[in-house]
Amino acid sequence: MDAVTSPVRIERHGGVAVVALDHPPVNALSRAVRQGLLDAFAALCADPSVIAIVISGGPGRFIAGADIREMNLPPDAPFLPEVVAAIDACAKPVVAAIAGAALGGGCEIALACDARLAGPKALVGLTETRLGIIPGAGGTQRLPRLLGTAQAISLIGEGRVLKAEEARAIGLVDAVVEGDVLAAAIDRAPAIAKRRLSAAAVPAGDAAAEDAAAARARKAAKGVPAVAEAIHVIRAAGEGDFAAGLAAERAAFLALRESAEAKALRHLFFAEREAGKVPGLQGAVARPLARVAVIGAGTMGAGIAVAMADAGLEVALVERDADAAQAGIARVRDLYGRQVKGGRLSEAQMAEKLARVAPTADWAQLGSADLVVEAAFEDMGVKTDIFRRLDAVARPGAVLATNTSYLDLDAIAAATSRPQDVVGLHFFAPANVMKLLEVVRAARTAPDVLATALALGRRMGKQAIVAGNCDGFIGNRIYAVYRRHAEYLVEDGAAPEEVDAALEAYGFAMGIFSVSDMSGLDIAYAMRQRRAATRDPNERYVAIADRLVEQGRLGRKTGAGWYAYDAAGTKSADPVVAEIIAVARTEKGIAPRAFSAPDIQRRLLAVMANEGAKALAEGIALRASDIDLAFVNGYGFPRLKGGPMWAADAMGLTEVLREVEAAHQAGGAGSEPAPLLVELVRKGCTFAGWRQGEEE
């Protein structure tokens, strides 16, 4: 081992040797780290002066898992199972000093040790199923031998991450050490007895508890194949010897690693890390945030207030009068009450969070806010009026944000004397639950304002995506095309329930017409009316949804929309809707034709990707992976498919272009193939590689 270049070094403390990792930022198990660990154990296990070994990741760290980047590269020895086997085989006691994250492969290394000591901020877990794979270095075999089959299924199947005390309570770590965990490990290591989990038997378990754990994991998995495979391999641990279990685990791991689902999930993993890299923000420092305000205490405003209170911010919830303000805080209280009823929050925690939200009708309260979010009705006149008033009372340097879904952010900013302080914060309903946050940059938004918005998104636990200013930004712009072409399919012959069934078979939790009914058909209707004057006359227009609204069918809230709903909320196909559709076809002379589920899936995926390509070329989206994150986190696109742009690459852009050309014939103006899509097909490139290829 080269002490100069290796990220692993050996330190001696008398008879105790410390294998110290220093591979910033999280000691990911790169090839160099694996080789360093293997070399260190080869030397120390053969050194008679060493009586015990401690593995340390340094202050605040341990090993956060595999180097995910290497999963997309050809396999390169040494492999993690070799490293884990070397630790397990060492005749001297080995202690894991876990001061930070011991996740995935890091947790497997800790399980190969004879004892595990954790600092109070340690995190422990086998999280591989989140990436569509299973532990591949003994985790599925050692964990059931330590904790039993049911607990192993729960932890691995659900990809759970445990805090230090939680891990200690179930026996995953032996002790939680206040202060210097490495010093404690060095002190205790000589007295640790060898305790190889590889030589232990799986404790006798409760079959009912195992079945219950498996059912919970499968339900949470939402179709991730790795979870079913993990359950199978874990259960096999109690049926055969350790070596056979390792072989079965490794075979499953290698097969899953190359699956389309795992590749899609890895794509999203990297996309999340790329999303925060925004050109022009180098050196920008976020403005301090302690007190915020939300203007508008309706459903959206209340949800935003909860998201901000959950992030530890003091929130002024501002309404037009005292009665409206009290109605708003009642909505906030109801949102927290549901969490208490569901067991996700205690009464004391609810009281603590509620205390952060102050309802008011006094606009003077806005003068002390570091950031103000407007969450009023989606109307340009309403919003510009609010921003004029806000400009007069907000303190200098306050960030002024709008939650608009579609409207021109530059026009809203122009209503103030400080457009540099204006940014879009497009939350998705319910705002306290949905992970996506579109951060919309206006023409004059200052870099530190954009940095503040991104920092707020992180603080709230949101997936923030930076979007440029256009009608609908990234998500709603593409969604509008998706919905329009779904309506073309219906007018051309597909039933709404057939379109929804095809989308649900693809992996969406709900089809597009079910979603429309849930959100309310009047919302899209108002948007269409607003756009009517500027709509291209050569764009095909389907009036079926308008006729539903004009008959009072607004969706679930009126008991009828694209579907009929009974008193319990159960939907069913409605002959009234079928008749409205039939009349619309007759008026246009359309002879209905049949569409298969694959027909529907290909068409709707293609038009989403095509509009995404237009957004990329215009700079509305910074990268294709940002579009994927937006749709996975905000629109129900199945994670296992990686997002519409990734899925389009998988479909093949030649096939996508062919489908888009057919969609153009069906839809007319606005459905033309994107020049970027045409260019990528000509060059044989993909959306995923577009920016890299452009830079080269």
Contact of 493 with 592, CB cutoff 8 Å? yes
Tell which residue, 370, 390, 394, 383, has the closest CA to residue 452. 370
- 3-class SS of residue 21: strand
What are the angstrom distances between the C-alpha of 145 and each of 88, 139, 196, 233, 560?
Answer: 14, 10, 10, 13, 54
In angstroms, rounded to a whole number, what is the distance separating the alpha carbons of residues 450 and 78?
43
Q: How far is Cα of residue 162 from the mean position of the Cα atoms in its chain? A: 19
Alpha-carbon gap, residue 301 to 533, rounded angstroms: 30
- Which one of 82, 128, 210, 539 is the catalytic residue? 128
CA atoms of 692 and 696, how far apart (whole Å): 6
Instruction: Report the alpha-carbon distance of residue 87 to residue 97 in Å, rounded.
Output: 14
User: Can you read off the two tokens belonging to residue 635?
Assistant: 């629109």
User: Minimal CA–CA distance to 108: which of 131, 132, 134, 130?
Assistant: 134
Helices marked H in 520-596? 521-531, 544-550, 575-588
Q: Quick check: is 128 catalytic?
A: yes
Round to whole Å and give the CA distance between 285 and 274: 19
d(CA 385, CA 325): 19
Catalytic pick among 11, 70, 82, 108: 108
Cα–Cα distance, 331 to 303 (Å, whole number): 8
Tell me, yes or no, if 539 is annotated catalytic: no
Retrieve residue 137's tokens: 């270095």
To the nearest 10°, the Cα dihedral for 596, 601, 604, 606? -110
Q: Which are the catalytic amino acids?
A: 108, 128
